[in-house]
């Protein structure tokens, strides 16, 4: 019987490993192209590494050090590959989480502006309606006030001199002294015209003063309304800035919390990677799932924050 050489044993181990685990290795290499994998795929990697680790121990116990060295090298290679994959997956997931926070914030920011723009548009429309109604009401009341002033105007009161001229005019007319009566009448007519003109001026001045006073009162009402509108507008803008500040602060808090959580995840992941070289594969799988669990819980926290 031929005794197999050392090289034959090495080749045999390589062939057996290749035949027994080819499907799992192919699966691992294929899935390494993606950022995230399911628990079944991670379990497949864990199973393969566990089998390879068990094979290494068996070779060590049986004194097959060449086969043990090959298994050890393969374990280190796969652990390194798995560590790089975990780092890349974590990096991609954290980028996705940060982008998710940014997108959620931008969506909330757009909704915030849209809501407030609509609210301010409604406020301005209502304010314009109030101003228009008041101006119409003032125009109507001014017209009624003017009519009331005209109705209250007194008849002109002529001077004693004019009244005496009219009496003399009547006396001369009754005495049939028409020539003198006409002369007196002409003087009386001119005096009456002057007195009527003066009366009309006084009436116009009085009406103008009363109308001015009335208009000033109404203008003060309009100014007071405009002032209330401006005060309300400023209060709305102040409330908008206050709520915007809260929104920005809430976003910053979530961003800071996410950053701290991701930094903690990175540190924990690096500890796991450093431990992989000296421990069996089980800690890699369990720790890796724990890290992913942190990420999932963190993402849930971020979602609830917005």
Phi, psi at 218, each rounded to 5°: -70, -35
C-alpha span between 7 and 242 (Å, rounded): 78
pLDDT at 280: 41
C-alpha span between 156 and 101 (Å, rounded): 85
pLDDT at 241: 96
pLDDT at 20: 43
C-alpha span between 119 and 129 (Å, rounded): 15
Distances 135 to 143, 223, 261 between C-alpha atoms, Å:
12, 11, 61
C-alpha span between 200 and 192 (Å, rounded): 12
Residues in the chain: 306
pLDDT at 33: 45
pLDDT at 177: 84
Query: What's the whole-model pTM score?
Result: 0.57
Give the chain's residues under pLDDT 50: 1-37, 277-305
pLDDT at 294: 43
C-alpha span between 61 and 164 (Å, rounded): 153
Q: Which long-range contacts (CB under 8 A, 24 or more apart) does 89-97 make?
A: 89/35, 89/36, 89/37, 90/265, 90/266, 90/269, 90/291, 90/295, 92/35, 92/36, 93/35, 93/36, 93/295, 94/262, 94/265, 94/295, 97/258, 97/262, 97/295, 97/298, 97/299, 97/302
């Amino acid at each position: 019987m031929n005794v197999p050489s050392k090289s034959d044993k090495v080749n045999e181990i390589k062939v057996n490993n290749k035949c027994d685990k080819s499907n799992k290795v192919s699966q691992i290499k294929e899935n390494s192209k993606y950022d995230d994998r399911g628990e079944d795929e991670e379990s497949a990697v864990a199973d393969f590494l566990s089998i390879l680790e068990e094979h290494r121990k068996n070779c060590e116990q049986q004194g097959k050090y060449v086969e043990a060295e090959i298994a050890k090298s393969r374990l280190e290679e796969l652990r390194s590959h798995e560590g790089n994959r975990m780092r890349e997956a974590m990096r991609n997931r954290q980028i996705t989480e940060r982008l998710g926070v940014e997108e959620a914030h931008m969506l909330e920011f757009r909704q915030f502006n849209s809501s407030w723009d609509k609210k301010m548009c409604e406020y301005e429309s209502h304010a314009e309606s109030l101003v228009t109604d008041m101006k119409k009401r003032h125009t109507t009341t001014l017209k009624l006030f003017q009519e009331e002033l005209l109705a209250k105007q007194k008849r002109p009161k002529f001077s004693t001199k004019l009244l005496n001229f009219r009496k003399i005019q009547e006396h001369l007319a009754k005495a049939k002294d028409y020539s003198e009566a006409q002369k007196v009448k002409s003087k009386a007519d001119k005096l009456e015209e002057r007195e009527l003109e003066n009366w009309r001026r006084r009436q116009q001045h009085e009406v103008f003063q009363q109308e001015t006073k009335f208009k000033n009162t109404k203008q003060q009402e309009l100014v007071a309304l405009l002032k209330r509108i401006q005060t309300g507008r400023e209060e709305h803008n102040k409330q908008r800035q206050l709520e915007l500040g809260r929104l920005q602060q809430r976003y910053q808090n979530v961003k800071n919390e996410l950053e701290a959580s991701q930094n903690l995840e990175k540190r924990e992941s690096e500890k796991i990677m450093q431990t992989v070289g000296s421990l069996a594969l089980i800690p890699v799988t369990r720790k890796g799932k724990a890290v992913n669990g942190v990420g999932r819980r963190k993402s849930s926290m971020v979602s609830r924050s917005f």
